[in-house]
Structure 1
């Protein structure tokens, strides 16, 4: 009974402590220190959870509304408040109570900071999805009207998004009204407003879902925005073109009305490179909205220009989208018009970003053009990238080899790709070797085990004696993974024994010492019988090596492996350690021997 009372009392103390912390957070909303305000704003949901829906509506939201006037010159506070207001919708009880969030969000919508404004619009979208249909007409639409008529361009930008978000919840009469007002905003004198209309056109297209209106309403707006004098407006309109094209069932209209402005943007080198970049972003997706005949002629027509653009950012994006383009075009068009450019131009590009994009996508291209075309057009740039590219490009390329191997088959992969990988395995840059090592388990999964053993196994075990520690360390881990994924316990143990036999009697002490590290690392992955019968004798022998560095590392290894030793091996190891303990010439040998012997005493 006393314990129960103590627990109840403890719970009451915790609750009081929680209440006091929340009270401090509320006080901090009025604090002059912006850091204290920010700390409190970021925890508004905690405050709301304690206050409950009624007090949130009656006390917290009015307090936040007043707060906006005092922090409107601090973008960080405004951004966090806009974000938190959207989250408060979950703490207001009934969904209809989200209407109380409209007032504070309305004040934030007029912010000059686009990031703050976008966050407020996102929160208002959450509120708009929850409020009742009646409230939409009495509260939400008047707010949007006020935004649309605002003197500040930022308010009219917000109106574009709010119209697009709420459109699907309106009745037919108000939908028609909204379409008219949105069209008017798309023709606003201020470029920033037109840009906002272009950006929100994608959202409106999702809500519209009407093929006839797509042609008669959305398409004229899109065409006007794509022909705008301001590049930033056109950039956003390009992003909306795919959404509009998806709604239009007449492909001839897409070909004659949407594709030509995009071609003009690509061909006009005087415009912003960002506009051409935006076309590169959507061109492959747009190809999926038209027939392959149109894609092969019209879209590939300007894609050839994009992958040879003077700006590396544009070239990189165009190359990155090539698999998607290939999926939506005929193989012959890709082979005849795109791949020759990759072979003669892109593979020699001076930009690492472009080469990186090529390494990321070129193997996947093989899925869409068949084995013969892959051998003729994909293998040459792949082998060149493996030879002449920066380390990061080589690493990226290797991680995407599986698709290529599946398409060309084991024999061709062995003939064309494995020699390049073998060459990289002895690269002067250790990070390249490390990347090859890390790629080996994946490679072993998609080539036959016999091919792996014949062509790569010797290189894998050769890394065990690499002069770079990270390479040796990783190669041991890879051997363990290969045992688990491809081979078996016997394969691992046979090869470990062979390498220990080779290492322990090597004339160079730098190789002999690898025996110790190898045994220590694989001890948990071989059988205890194999460890004691085959590996521990090498440690005992190295314990009498003339090099002190080897002897004291043997002591460390014996100390670590002591729990796994058989009684006979414990006696042998103890004898070696006692010999080293008597070494008066080298302090380290004596110290580590004494330290290891303590394990035997325990």
Structure 2
């Protein structure tokens, strides 16, 4: 406490990012040594400082080792102290800061567990899907797949897919397109059975959307998910939809529909 901690406090604000990154990779390991009270009083403020560091490696190393602190102080204390900082970064006005937190989210989810994630962070991940910056929406879509890989198909079926499908009815066509992008990645993570039973109908319904960009993305999504579906479903539902899109008034819709049909 008297010899090492003052040095640690100095290193947190070191001008060299490699020093700060190295410190972030080991500082969490002090928690079991110092115990709960000292961790809360002395280390948590340092964790918060590093979690907001401009260097991504520093932030990553803190998030990567949260389990060490969790074992000492418990998830409740951890959430009360660190979670507000994470949420603050996730809602930062600079989109690159938001992007960095999205990229760490699967790792963070693994550290904190599914129950905590659903209670505290799930809504945040869904909010990113309707962010005004495309790069954020794109990263949030990929983030969903990683979360499903971590938490499993049942979790996806009960927690994520219903929220994604509801976006197909959004007034903003960009959000309806994001719904399709999510289905693209969720189909890979969830497999053909879940895709056919839960997601295909939504894709087919969007084929009559009044925005051409949505309709041609329907064609692209059908092309992507068809290999996962059983042949009778492809013949009876997917192909007829693509054939209708192939006669669409919009040239881009016809192009992507014909591309999809040619792939069969």
Asked if these proteins are the same fold (TM beyond 0.5), I'd say yes
Inter-partner Cα distance in structure 2 for 1:549 and 1:587: 11
**Quick check: 1:556 aligned with 2:224?**
no
Higher relative contact order (CA 8 A, sep 6+): 2
Inter-partner Cα distance in structure 1 for 2:62 and 2:198: 40
CA contact (8 A) 1:425 1:436 kept: yes
Residues 116-515 of structure 1 mapped to structure 2, 5 A cutoff: 335-343=1-9, 345-430=10-95, 432-466=97-131, 467-468=134-135, 470-484=138-152, 489-515=153-179
Q: How many residues are aligned here?
A: 260
Q: Unpaired runs of 5+ in structure 1?
A: 1-334
Task: Report which of the two structures shows the higher radius of gyration computed on alpha carbons.
Answer: 1
Inter-partner Cα distance in structure 1 for 2:233 and 2:22: 59
Inter-partner Cα distance in structure 1 for 2:178 and 2:33: 47
Residue 246 (structure 1) aligns with: none
**1:520–1:553: structure 2 CA closer, same or farther, 3 Å change rule?**
same
**1:572–1:477: structure 2 CA closer, same or farther, 3 Å change rule?**
closer
TM-score (norm 1): 0.40
CA contact (8 A) 2:173 2:214 kept: yes
Deviations 1:187-234 (A, max 9, x none): xxxxxxxxxxxxxxxxxxxxxxxxxxxxxxxxxxxxxxxxxxxxxxxx
CA contact (8 A) 1:441 1:478 kept: yes
CA contact (8 A) 1:536 1:569 kept: no
Residue 329 (structure 1) aligns with: none
Residue 594 (structure 1) aligns with: 258
CA contact (8 A) 2:90 2:102 kept: yes
Superposed CA RMSD: 2.6
Residues 52-131 of structure 1 mapped to structure 2, 5 A cutoff: none
Deviations 1:38-77 (A, max 9, x none): xxxxxxxxxxxxxxxxxxxxxxxxxxxxxxxxxxxxxxxx
SS at match of 1:369: helix
CA contact (8 A) 1:395 1:435 kept: no
Runs of 4+ with deviation above 6 angstroms: none
* CA displacement at 1:338 relative to structure 2: 3.3
Inter-partner Cα distance in structure 2 for 1:559 and 1:388: 43
Inter-partner Cα distance in structure 2 for 1:427 and 1:550: 29
